[in-house]
Amino acid sequence: MISFIETFQRELADESKETRRMLAIVPADKMDWQPHPKSMTLKALATHLAEIPIMITVALEQDKWDFAEEPYNPYDFPTAEALLARFDECIEKAENALAHASDDNLRDNWKLCSGEQVFMEVERWEAVRHAFGQNAHHRAQLGVFLRLLDIPIPGPYGPSADEMALYEM
């Protein structure tokens, strides 16, 4: 039977391919677009998606991520190419963190906080799972944003409606 770390490594490899496909089609001329005033801009959403693997690295290498001590300051990416470069960097660090982790330390406690305000206090494995959930959630959000901009989107787990049209020809 494979280890939990190995399952996380496989999931990261599979999901990163699909996330990369979505980030690759983010249009530079629409970065400031947002579907609703309460929504993130396309740039903010795509940047957040590109940097989600940071959570895996921090969860495996540190006991906590305290925004009061180590604030999250997203980079500014003007193009899909810049987003992809950052995403690749974040994936490489997450892969390295997984390669040096063991199932034994996945049961250790981990905390996401800002000073005394605690957002999440879980075991490390739960923080890694949370990062994967965030990836799926925000990738789907990005798909909606792109759909609203009439940009054909790839299907991560099978053909999208845009790709189905290719099969019907």
pLDDT digits (tens, 9 = 90+) for 22-54: 999 999 999 999 999 999 999 999 999 999 999
Burial 19-51 (b: 16+ CB within 10 A, else e): beebbeebeeeebeebbeeeebebbebbbbbbb
pLDDT one-digit tens code per residue, 77-111 = 899 999 999 999 999 999 999 999 999 999 999 99
Q: In 3D, which of 55, 47, 50, 156 has the Cα closest to residue 98?
A: 55
Report pTM.
0.92
